[in-house]
């Protein structure tokens, strides 16, 4: 086992929230490390185009992530990516973690930004057409389907609300739902029912995705009759839930029933010196801009905590 290396703050996760936290912490002259299990940028790098980021007319998700990474590095932040955490200890004033390469790192404060991932259908062809007709974000991708005929999967509040929002772009929206009724509030059901662009295929599930370069059709199986229909479509939006990447925190932090991290207004968790931000926290809206906002708040709060802790220790040593 290698000897430990100390930082003022360690950020776990390098999506928009984590990179933003790294930028703010390192710019505040705090020694900062970002640790990321996958590729820097998180879900952001999978987004073909971002057209609603303030101050930027249009940018590729990967490009935006690399700009954020460059900013963090420029301010002196260290980044270790494509590496996993084998042990994490958040108790006491000095937090520590061990990485899969055997290195040990300690810090006064930890900012958790592991992000999350949309829940997928898990049927053949879905992975192939992600970003090529299959989407999990209406706000991100709705504009790319202007005038087209698309499918929305599921019948909860999010699915119905997003289906209505997609009618601003799409020529026709068909909701495919496995039950004969919706699991949504009445206002959401009524708004969808009253929209002439929205059509319904109930008691059915998507079983396969087809196409060449982009999605062209899906197999829809009627669960009551057992019959399968090959349905022509130019896009499929899946809204069956969201999965936070918090499995590694189950025995460390108290998570809610959805596996999300509960935070206060300053992004603090129930453990002193530990903050959380981005798609892994309990919140309603998940966008690049909300992740960046969360990361900013978490970094500022962590910075304040670190300075207070250092000041206290300095006073003790002086006395």
- Average pLDDT along the chain: 93
Task: Band the pLDDT of 319: cuts 50, 70, 90.
Answer: very low
pLDDT value, residue 48? 66
Cα separation of the two ends of the chain: 36
User: For the segment 93-148, what is each residue's pLDDT rounded down to a tens digit?
Assistant: 999 999 999 999 999 999 999 999 889 999 999 999 998 999 998 878 899 999 99
User: For the segment 149-168, what is each residue's pLDDT rounded down to a tens digit?
Assistant: 999 999 998 899 899 999 99
Q: Structural domains in the chain?
A: 4-117+242-318 (3.50.50.60), 120-238 (3.50.50.60)
pLDDT value, residue 211? 97
pTM for the predicted model, two decimal places: 0.79
Percent of the chain with pLDDT over 70: 97
User: For the segment 305-316, what is each residue's pLDDT rounded down to a tens digit?
Assistant: 999 998 887 776
User: For the segment 225-236, what is each residue's pLDDT rounded down to a tens digit?
Assistant: 999 999 999 999
262's tokens? 């509960």
Task: Band the pLDDT of 318: cuts 50, 70, 90.
Answer: low
């Amino acid at each position: 086992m290698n000897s430990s290396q100390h930082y003022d703050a360690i950020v776990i996760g390098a999506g928009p929230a984590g990179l933003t936290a790294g930028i703010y912490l390192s710019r505040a002259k705090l020694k900062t490390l970002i640790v990321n299990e996958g590729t820097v940028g998180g879900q952001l790098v999978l987004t073909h185009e971002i057209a609603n980021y303030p101050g930027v007319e249009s940018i590729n998700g990967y490009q935006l992530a690399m700009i954020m990474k460059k900013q963090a590095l420029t301010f002196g932040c260290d980044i270790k990516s494509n590496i996993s955490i084998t042990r994490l200890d958040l108790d006491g004033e000095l937090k520590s973690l061990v990485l899969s390469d055997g290195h040990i790192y300690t810090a006064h404060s930890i900012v958790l930004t592991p992000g999350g991932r949309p829940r997928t259908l898990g049927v053949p062809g879905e992975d192939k057409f992600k970003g090529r007709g299959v989407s999990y974000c209406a706000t991100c991708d709705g504009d790319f389907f202007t005038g087209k005929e698309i499918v929305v999967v599921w019948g909860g509040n999010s699915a119905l609300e997003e289906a209505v929002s997609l009618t601003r772009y799409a020529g026709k929206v068909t909701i495919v739902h496995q039950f004969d009724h919706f699991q949504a509030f009445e206002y959401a059901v009524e708004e969808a029912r009253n929209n002439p662009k929205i059509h319904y295929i109930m008691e059915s599930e998507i079983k396969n995705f087809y196409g060449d370069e982009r999605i062209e059709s899906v197999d829809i199986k009627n669960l009551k009759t057992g019959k399968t229909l090959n349905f022509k479509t130019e896009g499929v939006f899946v809204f069956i839930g969201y999965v936070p990447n918090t499995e590694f925190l189950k025995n460390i932090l108290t998570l809610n029933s959805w596996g999300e991290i509960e935070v206060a207004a300053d992004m603090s968790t129930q453990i002193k010196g530990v903050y959380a931000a981005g798609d892994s926290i309990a919140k309603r809206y998940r966008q690049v801009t909300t992740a960046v906002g969360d990361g900013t708040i978490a970094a500022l709060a962590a910075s304040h905590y670190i300075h207070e802790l250092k000041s206290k220790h300095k006073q003790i040593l002086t006395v």
